[in-house]
Amino acid sequence: MSPTAAMLLPMAEGESHFPPDPSLFWQPLVKFGSIELFGSEMTLAITRPMVVMALTVGLLSWWLIATTRKAAVVPSKGQAGTEAVYNFVRNGIARDMIGSRDFLPFVPFLFTMFVLILFNNWMGIIPPVQMPTMGRIGFPIALTLLVYIVYHWIGVRKHGFVGYFQFMLPSGLPGWIKPAILVLEMLTFFVTRPLTLALRLFGNMFAGHLLLVVFIIGGWELFLQGGLLSIVSLPAWIMAFAMTVFEALVQFLQAYVFVLLAASYIGGALVDEH
């Protein structure tokens, strides 16, 4: 590594950060020391994803209130933009998945979920933030927890506690197979659904961010090698650009899939009978 490179890339101990590892996602900004929790040490800190999350909540609140405060029959440009997103969630997701009879009470929940996830995902490619909040599993788990509570709660409210478990069983099954199916269905309702919901979002954001880092930092590392390798950094960066565009699509898609599945679970719990 040349002295110029060391100046350009301020690496504290002169060690390489390529290839990137998961520790990349641990970015505490302010630390308050550490505590002992469940027998293991935990650092108390305000992390970068937290700040990004707070920023998105603030911006979204401001934007949504500003564009809908004087919501009119003939919408302004801002209102039309917000309405397009709102329509997408309201009619394209909530009404289609839950049904036009009961969907309206869940629209605020699903809309909040969608805009929050989408904006946080896009924060993974928006400079200068470039931190996909959902790449930290705590956030997908928090959102999944809410979806989990909501669909079980409304399921129990509609069918009753025992009725909810009976409802999980498809009707018309022979008696001897019922216990096995009930176990499978309970596994689906209580384990598979939340696990996949959280991990899908987390995995996509985590891997997508690593991929971008690989191409960008990798390109940088190649550039610093000098000679022929410096030229190779150009295709690496072109690839980084292409992957960024691709990521934008994936980030939108993951927000959409998350909310679509949440709506589908809610709709499923509200179905009258199998």
Peptide bond into 140 cis (omega under 30): no
Minimum Å gap between C-beta 28 and another protein is 5
Task: Write out the E strands in 18-97.
Answer: 28-37, 40-47
Q: What one-character-per-residue DSSP string does 171-230 give?
A: TT--GGGHHHHHHHHHHIIIIIHHHHHHHHHHHHHHHHHHHHHHHHHHHHHHHHH-THHH
Minimum Å gap between C-beta 199 and another protein is 7
Task: Give 15 or 273: the residue with its C-beta nearer to another protein.
Answer: 15
Those residues with Cβ within 8 angstroms of residue 226's Cβ, 6 or more apart along the chain or in another chain: 2
Q: Are 53 and 135 in contact (CB under 8 A)?
A: no
Q: Are 79 and 67 in contact (CB under 8 A)?
A: yes
Integer angstrom CA distances of residue 127 from 6, 8, 19, 41, 131: 24, 19, 22, 33, 9
Integer angstrom CA distances of residue 201 from 39, 92, 151: 29, 20, 19
Minimum Å gap between C-beta 196 and another protein is 13
Minimum Å gap between C-beta 266 and another protein is 15
- CA 205 to chain centroid, in Å, comes to 7
Task: Give 94 or 168: the residue with its C-beta nearer to another protein.
Answer: 94
Minimum Å gap between C-beta 9 and another protein is 7
Minimum Å gap between C-beta 178 and another protein is 34
Phi and psi at residue 32, in whole multiples of 5°? Answer: -115, 25
Q: Are 134 and 78 in contact (CB under 8 A)?
A: no
Minimum Å gap between C-beta 15 and another protein is 8
Task: Write out the E strands in the chain.
Answer: 28-37, 40-47
Minimum Å gap between C-beta 183 and another protein is 25
